[in-house]
Amino acid sequence: MIIKVFITNFVLFIFLINLNLLNTYFYEGIFCLLISSFLCFLLYKKSENLKYLLLLLLTSFSINLSFFVLFPVALERSISVNMLREIDLEYGESDFNFNQVLEINKSFTNSNEFTQKRIDEQMVSGNIVMNEDGKYSMSKLGKLTLKLFELVSSIYDIK
């Protein structure tokens, strides 16, 4: 029963989050988790141990919420992730320089320090590498990371 409840709650949650019921992604996720947990309760309430079912649903809700906040919500809000996406769209396999990244980040900030911090963060992560000529390029890890982000984005309907 444990796995059945967890999978049902997760599948219902993914279905509901893809309906785009609310405009604010974070609140939509919480709302959809509450609804999916309630629907699970209705599906399995005839089980012999109601307290056990409630404990399973609370645990399932907590795990889904933790994952949702750590990954999909963070992906949706992350400037670094959006910067990587834009770099990939704009430059793909080509090299790029600091000023080009600064231009990409203009929708977020005009601060050189802010942009340099994001670039440094991505270099430490291994997503961006600096070439001998001082230009940057997206690494294979960066491309793989973006593919993972896109997979999570498509499952959780992140726009």
Query: Which helix or strand (DSSP H or E) is residue 97 part of?
Result: none
What DSSP string runs through 37-78? HHHHHHHHTTSS-HHHHHHHHHHHHHHHHHHHIIIIIHHHH-
Q: What pLDDT digit, counting tens, does each position of 82-139 carry? A: 888 889 989 988 899 989 988 888 877 778 888 899 999 999 999 999 999 999 999 9
Q: 155 with 68: CB under 8 angstroms?
A: no
Q: 5 with 57: CB under 8 angstroms?
A: yes
Q: pTM of this prediction? A: 0.76
Query: Would you give the DSSP letter of residue 156?
Result: T
